[in-house]
Amino acid sequence: MEEAQVNTPVAVDADKTTPAPRIPFTDITQASGIEFVHVNGAYGERLMPETIGSGAAFLDYDNDGDQDLLLVNFNYWPGHAGSGVARHALYANDGMGRFRDVTEQAGVGFSDYGMGVAVGDYDGDGRQDLYLTCLGGNRLLHNEGGRFHETTQAAGVAGGDNDWSTGAAFIDYDR
């Protein structure tokens, strides 16, 4: 049996610091075509759902090989409406670093109290489906080849009007 060797610890001079290298980040949101504005519904009461950021997911909703982007939005509280309607947004990737808004044509322009999103192929048809978690009822959206159809009630996964779901995941438990 070999014995472990113990090395002598190295003394670190606390007076000498090495600055961390600068890592530049450039905001390319607008240049890439994304014009999404997140709404958190805050109006001063500091309610718990206001403090949690909504979800986002990369998925290939149209099966073209490019990662598209779904952004989940919250909403304004009843009686505290802001300007406009807060909707989820889906952006199609053109494969060249640009995105175009396909929210309405893809059928995901819902106005919910959105919290999160899970992506998975729940029926094995080779297309990525969506499950949106919300304050109130959730949504299961079946991908029918680039357009989503809501199947929440038929699948029995809505949740109640007073429920609060923040996250979800798809699994294949028998594989």
Residue 171 lies in a domain: no
pLDDT in tens, 89-116: 999 999 999 999 999 999 999 999 999 9
Please indicate, yes or no, if residue 169 is contained in any of the structural domains.
no
Domain assignment of residue 149, yes or no:
yes
Residue 125: inside a domain, yes or no?
A: yes
With b for 16 or more beta-carbon neighbours within 10 A and e for fewer, the 50-72 pattern comes to: eeeebbebebbbbeeeeebbbbb
Domain span including residue 119: 48-155
The reply to whether 13 falls in a domain is: no
Number of domains in the chain: 1
49: pLDDT confidence band, cut at 50, 70 and 90?
confident
Per residue in 6-44, pLDDT tens? 566 666 666 667 788 889 999 999 999 999 999 888 887
Q: Is 17 a member of any domain?
A: no
Residue 29 included in any domain: no
- Provide DSSP, 11-30: P--TT---PPPP------TT
Structure tokens at 121: 């192929």
Q: Is the pTM of this model over 0.85?
A: no
Which neighbouring-strand residues pair with 132?
A: 117, 139
Asked, for residue 172, whether it belongs to a domain, the answer is no
